[in-house]
Amino acid sequence: MSDTIELRIYYEDTDAQGVVFYANYLKYFERARTEFLRKCGYLQNELLDKNIIFIVNKLDIHYKKPVLLDQLIKIESSLSELKKASFSFNQRVVINSQIMCEANVLCGCVDLETKKPIALPDELRKKMLDKKNAS
With 0-12 CB in 10 A as exposed, 13-18 as middle and 19+ as buried, what is 109?
buried
Q: What are phi and psi of 55, to 5 degrees?
A: -120, 155
- The residue from 3, 13, 15, 60 that is catalytic is 15
Quote the distance between the C-alpha of residue 9 and its chain's center: 17
Q: Clarify whether 15 is annotated catalytic.
A: yes
- Compute the distance between CA of residue 3 and CA of residue 6 in angstroms, rounded to an integer: 10
- 3: Cα within 13 Å, side-chain hemisphere: 22
- Compute the distance between CA of residue 33 and CA of residue 102 in angstroms, rounded to an integer: 14
Active site residues: 15
